[in-house]
Amino acid sequence: MTYLDVVFQYGAVPGESAMRAIDGMREVYGIRRVQFNEKERTVRVEFDASRLKADGVAKLLRQAGIDVREPVVLA
């Protein structure tokens, strides 16, 4: 397994149902960790790159109810 991080900006603050959906996403899709930074309005996702790509992660976040915007370039 190869783990990568991707960071996305988000618009609306996620609600309780979106956070529950994120928990379920971790168990199924190769998502290792999800961290929200409320101050910067970003979400960082560590995922298994052998199972997913960054655009797939964004799609899963949107399906969970997260208002995902553009990805943030990591230095």
CA distance 59 to 34: 14
Mean pLDDT of 48-67: 92
d(CA 75, CA 13) in angstroms, rounded, equals: 25
Q: What CATH number is associated with residue 22?
A: 3.30.70.100
Question: Do 22 and 63 contact (CB within 8 A), yes or no?
Answer: no
Residue span of the structural domain in which 17 resides: 3-72
What is the model's pLDDT at position 26? Answer: 77
pLDDT for position 75: 66
Measure the CA–CA gap between 69 and 30, rounded to whole angstroms: 21
Confidence check: pLDDT of 20 > 70: yes
Q: How many domains does the chain have?
A: 1
Digit-coded pLDDT (tens) for 28-54: 778 999 999 999 999 999 999 998 999
Q: Which pLDDT belongs to residue 74? A: 74
